[in-house]
Chain A
Amino acid sequence: MPDPGPNPYLRLRRQMFFGLLTTGLVPLVAMGVAGFVANRDSVEQRTRAGLEAMIKNRKVTVELFLEQTLRQLEILSAHGVAELSDPVTLAKLRDYARREHGALLDLGLIDDHGRHVAYAGPYDLMQVNYRNEAWFQQVMLHGQYQSDVFLGFRRFPHLVIAVKKPEAGHDFILRATVDSDLLSALVREGGLESGADVFILNRAAEYQTSYLDKHKLMARADTDAIPRHSGTRLVEVRRGQCREIMATSWLRGEQWVLVARQELPGVSALVFAHPAVPAVFLLGILLVPILAYLIARHRFRQVRSLESERAALYASVSQTQKMATIGRMAASIAHEINNPLAIIHAQVGALADSLEDVDLPHSQDLRQRIQKIEAQVERGRKVTHRLLGFSRRVGPDAESIDVAAALDETVGFLEKEVEAEHIGIVRQYDLNAPIVRSSLAQMQQVFLNLINNAVDSVNEVDRKGEIRLSIYARHDGVEVRIADNGAGIAPHNLGRLFEPFFSTKAGKDDHTGLGLSICQEIMRGLGGRITVESTQGVGTTFALRFPLDIESDRGDATTPPERSS
């Protein structure tokens, strides 16, 4: 039996482990990735929908505000120039407008030379001339005007709206400063989700609304100028590590564009949005290798146990075959020896007969010598008959066995070794032990193995070796005990004693470590069992239980007549 070595087993075990690991992890990871992508897409969809709804809503609000402001200025301009030129009346109108709408910071009436006719407001602007200002030209040309946010003469960011008021052949301009803070507040009204932002840009992408120190009025925004387009446009932009969706919508007149941005959640934000999900995933990732390891270990043990059983079976079969071969050889040798023995026996018998007829001087001595020859022939006959008896019993057929005789015959095989080592054999047989039906050859193989082991064991120690053979009658069969006073077996080896290829006899050439496992296999096959007790330094006892009748369905009860000695 070639030793397969530990490496193929380890490789098999590793392959099992990684196979199971892959089988477990691949679907788990695939599901995780698919789930992540689906979640990300769904979040993006929701973000787009939310932004679109918000920007439409804000656009309506802002356009309404700007329109109302302009409308208010137009209503104020319905008053006559005479009224508007009076600073007191103008201040009253301004106060009224502030109460109504709150957006107008000041109010000024300017003549067609760009000079203030009247002014109501917090700034000192009476001396300022607007004739060369661009907005002045715009109002004169188009009748009304709305500026971007700018600093102007007030040195304060604001925006200006103005309407032309023609009267008495002159063009006057009613001009108001609008609080840009109000616009800023309006744009962000109702609060925003985290990661969201909304603001207004002019055509040059400069902020028209402010928010804390994030958007500074008139500062250039961190985006390119927005090309003009109709309706709402959604684009995805990347800013540093972040991805965001940007929604843009041009306000009426296409002077300003309303911009709303929403950051998309990053990988970690998406993963940890619902902590139970990554927790379950992580648990799976941890559990799969553990389960793979446990299953691989279990399967591996099963495989190894099957392998051991197979090896033991193979060893048992090959041992049986070996014994059968030895048996056939023994039979053929015995035959070759028996024929000359028969001739010697016959010739010596005839010689003895002849001696009876004559009276020779030394006939007594001759008779003694003839008896010695006959005794040696008898000895030779016993040897060959025992060999033939041994060979004949190789086979699985059940027969009636006197266990004591079978045990003694086995000891006979080992007589020489036992004598050479001065080992004492102590027999303690229960004469009431029943005859059992079993396989003699297999029973004797077990005896032979155990007595051999006992001889080896007592040879290891200095004291005089003793092997004690006991037979007990049991209610369900016969128990045989084979005990030695040898070295004993270490407790940690005791449990592995019957494992195939396990051996405590290191360095013995002919030792396979299969003997006891074969014994166990045979005892199982015979419907019996083998147990062992051992105390280190004291000795070892093997106990064998044989049933009364081997549990067998081989119905051949024909036992040939016993003919050998």
Chain B
Amino acid sequence: MAALKLLLVDDEAEFLEPTAARLARRQVACTTVEGGAAALAALAKERFDCAVVDVKMPGMDGLELLRHIRGEYPEVAVVLLTGHASVELGVQGIDLGAFEYLMKPVDLDELLDTARRAAAHKALG
């Protein structure tokens, strides 16, 4: 399997840093950005297999970022991540084209597994 290239988007640096470190230990190339705008900038520079996006962020929120990715980088799979869960939000995210919907705090292995499946699904699709 080709090396997975992951974009991790969250407004909490305290969450991004240790998560990225842990993924790096597992040989997963991971770029972290704080916020939707920074994510779009990163996507413009580099190609990613999967973006893991926090739903609730100041400025551009996760769902808006999802719309941008679907429109501008359709080859990038999206997994939503949030501390807030509701049926409406989940349905909305899936309707907008997210592959999955995970709740914080998420187990690292589950996150990685989901991201891999999302990327594989996109590659097949």
Residue ranges of A at the interface with B (Cβ–Cβ < 8 Å): 331-332, 334-339, 341-347, 349-350, 353, 377, 381, 384-385, 388, 391-392, 558, 560-561, 563-564
Contact = CB atoms under 8 A, between A and B. Distances in A.
Interface string B61-98: 00000000000000000000011111100110010000
A385 B85 CA distance: 8
A249 to B, nearest CB: 109
Contacts of A341: 83, 104-105
Contact of A338 (B18, B22, B84, B86): B84
A338 B104 contact: yes
B85 A353 contact: no
A411 B19 CA distance: 36
A226 to B, nearest CB: 110
Contacts of B5: none
A336 B15 CA distance: 14
B83 A353 contact: no
Contact of B14 (A338, A343, A353): A343
B48 interface: no
B25 A560 contact: no
A347 B12 CA distance: 12
B85 A388 contact: yes
Contact of B15 (A346, A377, A385, A561): A346
A347 B106 CA distance: 12
B90 A347 contact: no
B84 A350 contact: no
B105 A331 contact: no
Contacts of B82: 335
B37 interface: no
Contact of B85 (A343, A346, A350, A564): A564
A353 B108 CA distance: 12
Contact of B86 (A353, A384, A391, A558): A391
B83 A334 contact: yes
Contact of A342 (B17, B85, B87, B106): B106
A342 B25 contact: no
B21 A392 contact: no
Nearest to B90: A560
Interface residues of B, number: 26
Nearest to B102: A563
Interface of B: 12, 14-15, 17-19, 21-22, 25, 56, 82-87, 90-91, 94, 101-106, 108
A392 B86 contact: yes
Contacts of A332: 84
A388 B106 CA distance: 15
B106 A335 contact: no
Contacts, number: 87
B28 to A, nearest CB: 13
Given A377-B105, A385-B103, A342 B83 contact: yes
B85 A349 contact: no
Nearest to B21: A350
Given A335-B56, A338-B104, A347-B18, 4 more contacts: A334-B85, A339-B104, A342-B12, A342-B83
B21 A353 contact: yes
A391 B88 CA distance: 12
A555 B83 CA distance: 31
Given A335-B56, A338-B105, A563-B103, A349 B18 contact: yes
A344 to B, nearest CB: 7
A345 B90 contact: no
A558 B92 CA distance: 13
Contacts of A391: 86
A347 B14 contact: yes
Contacts of B14: 343, 346-347
A346 B84 contact: no
Contacts of B84: 331-332, 334-335, 338, 388
Nearest to B101: A563
Contacts of B87: 392, 560
8 contacts: A334-B85, A341-B83, A341-B104, A341-B105, A346-B19, A392-B85, A560-B87, A561-B94
Nearest to A327: B86
Given A339-B12, A350-B21, A560-B91, A345 B85 contact: no
A343 B12 contact: yes
B49 to A, nearest CB: 21
A332 B85 CA distance: 9
A339 B83 contact: yes
The list of the 6 closest CB pairs from A to B, nearest first, reads A338-B83, A350-B18, A342-B104, A345-B105, A335-B84, A342-B105
Given A331-B84, A391-B86, A381 B101 contact: no
A119 to B, nearest CB: 142
B85 A563 contact: yes
Nearest to A345: B105
A349 B22 contact: yes
Nearest to A339: B83
A337 B87 CA distance: 19
Contacts of B17: 350
A388 B86 CA distance: 7
Nearest to A332: B84
A388 B102 CA distance: 13
B83 to A, nearest CB: 3
A88 B85 CA distance: 152
A202 B53 CA distance: 134
